[in-house]
């Protein structure tokens, strides 16, 4: 082989290697840009369960990147300086697939960070709290994924049923509080096991999903429901999922009492007594599946009790031809404003206490800027609501009082976690700062 032939034979592999390194460096630059944007946007703090990656163990194989169900439309995980990195922490949903597929055990799933703690009630492997007889399943325990909630609801109910007293004077063997994914699964399991149960929900079937805006895409995974079989959804809408769950309820005949808020849970000899807005109940065991949103945080201003004030968007179409004010600057606020503006004939305004929407996703911020430039949405940044009347709302913006005509207000100021409710029961709540 001549020297020329030798070098020519090396050209194909060298070309392939060069293309690979060019692509690899491009991915690195994109990962760095995504990471920087998340930090600049104030989206560098994960909301709940998320991966911590040991860079000493990570081999940069990308198994975790490909396994993440949120990668479609996001770069939640990526390769940064040759190792896996959480690039968009705020978009992590705590799925846990990254940990499962890691071949070298470099990933640990944790709650909270050094700067942002997350309150998590203490439960054992069977989801029983430190108060014997009280169990917690689903989002309240820090696991917000629909599939996780369903699995926990089933597991907790099975464990609870194995620990029931042989005889009791209580009216129920178990009371399930909440009819979201975990509460629904627990109710189905209780009926399958033939238990004397009671399920209560302060609103309606679906829990947090019920509060989603109309048409919102819901991500989940196939999972088995007791008495109903496989739930095959991977990506669906809020309406389709709720319709499916209602069909399951009708088919199985499970009973759920809606619009009943549990105000107090007290320990008594041989079980517990629950006080609601409708009455009192006694039970051997309690399963809490109430979610983490708790009670909506209110502004505490005159007029907030008016019927036109609500704390979540359900259907944008109900605001057609109305003057609507959105209070808040997170993604839920911006998405609500955009969807109402798209409904047609509306005058939409946003009041936000900061001078920029730093905690919202870049895509939502960009759309809001475009709508504002086109006079489709009016922005009142660095403002606070001071009073509400039937036809107006008054804002304070940099020391100046502003009155605007108004027919509806949606307040997205977050929620008060039910930590106090849990502590009143005696349940231990631990603030996690980046620990499992």
> Residue 72's pLDDT is what?
55
The CA R_g of the chain, rounded to the nearest whole Å, is: 25
pLDDT of the chain, 436 residues: tens digit per residue: 677 777 777 778 877 877 766 666 666 677 767 777 766 666 666 766 788 899 999 998 989 988 887 655 567 888 888 888 888 787 776 777 888 899 999 999 888 777 777 788 889 989 999 999 999 998 887 766 788 889 999 999 999 999 999 999 999 999 999 999 999 999 999 999 999 999 999 888 988 787 777 776 676 678 888 998 888 877 788 888 899 999 999 999 999 999 999 999 999 888 999 999 999 999 999 999 987 766 788 999 999 999 999 988 888 889 999 999 999 998 889 999 999 999 888 999 999 998 888 777 778 888 999 999 999 999 999 999 999 999 999 999 999 999 999 999 999 987 777 888 899 999 998 887 776 6
| Tokens found for residue 1 | 């082989």
Q: Give the span between the Cα atoms of 28 and 249, in whole angstroms.
A: 49
Neighbouring C-beta atoms of residue 340, cutoff 10 Å: 26
- Of 295, 338, 306, residue with least CA distance to 319: 338
Beta bridge partners of 172: 283
Q: Give the span between the Cα atoms of 289 and 209, in whole angstroms.
A: 13
In a 10 Å sphere around its CB, with 0-12 CB exposed, 13-18 middle and 19+ buried, how is residue 236 labelled? Answer: middle
| Tokens found for residue 217 | 């895409």
> Residue 11's pLDDT is what?
78
Q: Give the span between the Cα atoms of 94 and 353, in whole angstroms.
A: 30
DSSP element (H, E) containing 424: helix 419-425
In this structure, is the dihedral angle defined by the CA atoms of residues 202, 206, 208 and 213, taken in order, positive or negative?
negative
In a 10 Å sphere around its CB, with 0-12 CB exposed, 13-18 middle and 19+ buried, how is residue 162 labelled? Answer: exposed
In this structure, is the dihedral angle defined by the CA atoms of residues 17, 22, 28 and 30, taken in order, positive or negative?
negative
> Residue 73's pLDDT is what?
53
Q: What is the pTM of this model?
A: 0.72
Tell me the pairing of strands 118-121 and 107-110: unpaired
- Provide the 3-class DSSP secondary structure of residue 421: helix
Q: What is the DSSP letter of 306?
A: S
DSSP H helices in 41-145? 63-67, 97-101
DSSP H helices in 193-315? 238-252
433 neighbors 417 (Cβ within 8 angstroms): no
Q: What residue ranges define each of the domains in the chain, with the CATH number in brackets? A: 3-110 (3.30.70.20), 119-294+418-432 (3.50.50.60), 309-415 (3.50.50.60)
| Tokens found for residue 69 | 């169900």
> Residue 383's pLDDT is what?
96
């Amino acid at each position: 082989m001549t020297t020329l032939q030798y070098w020519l034979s090396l050209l194909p592999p060298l070309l392939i290697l060069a293309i690979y390194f060019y692509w690899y460096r491009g991915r690195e630059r994109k990962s760095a840009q995504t990471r920087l944007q998340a930090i600049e946007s104030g989206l560098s703090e994960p909301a709940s369960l998320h991966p911590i990656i040991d860079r000493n163990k990570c081999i940069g194989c990308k198994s975790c990147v490909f396994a993440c169900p949120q990668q479609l439309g996001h770069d939640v995980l990526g390769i940064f300086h040759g190792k896996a990195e959480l690039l968009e922490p705020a978009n992590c949903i705590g799925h846990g697939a990254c940990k499962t597929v890691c071949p070298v055990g470099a990933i640990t799933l944790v709650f909270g960070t050094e700067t942002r703690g997350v309150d998590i009630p203490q439960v054992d492997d069977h989801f029983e709290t430190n108060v014997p007889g009280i169990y917690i399943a689903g989002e309240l325990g820090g696991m917000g994924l629909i599939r996780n909630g369903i699995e926990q609801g089933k597991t907790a109910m099975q464990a609870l049923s194995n620990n029931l007293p042989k005889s009791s004077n209580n009216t129920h063997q178990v009371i399930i509080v909440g009819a979201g994914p975990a509460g629904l699964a627990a109710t189905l399991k209780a009926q399958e096991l033939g238990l004397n149960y009671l399920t209560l929900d302060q609103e309606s079937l679906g829990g947090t999903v019920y509060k989603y805006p109309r048409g919102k895409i819901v991500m989940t995974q196939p999972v088995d429901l007791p008495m109903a079989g496989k739930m095959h959804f991977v990506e669906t809408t809020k309406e389709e999922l709720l319709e499916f769950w209602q069909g399951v309820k009708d088919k199985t005949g499970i009973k759920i009492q809606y619009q009943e808020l549990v105000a107090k849970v007290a320990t008594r000899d041989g079980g517990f007594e629950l006080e609601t807005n409708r009455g009192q109940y006694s039970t051997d065991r309690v399963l809490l599946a109430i979610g983490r949103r708790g009670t909506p945080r209110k502004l505490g201003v005159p007029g907030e009790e008016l019927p036109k004030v609500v704390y979540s968007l359900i259907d944008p179409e109900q605001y057609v031809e109305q003057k609507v004010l959105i209070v808040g600057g997170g993604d839920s606020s911006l998405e609500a404003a955009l969807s109402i503006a798209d409904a047609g004939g509306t005058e939409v305004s946003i009041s936000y206490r900061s001078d920029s929407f730093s905690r919202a996703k870049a895509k939502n911020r960009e759309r809001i800027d475009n709508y504002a430039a086109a006079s489709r949405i009016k922005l009142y940044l660095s403002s606070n609501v001071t009073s509400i009347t039937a036809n107006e709302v008054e804002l304070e913006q940099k020391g100046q009082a502003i009155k605007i005509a108004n027919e509806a207000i949606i307040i997205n100021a977050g929620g008060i976690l039910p930590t106090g409710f849990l502590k009143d029961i005696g349940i231990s709540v631990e603030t996690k700062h980046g620990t499992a």
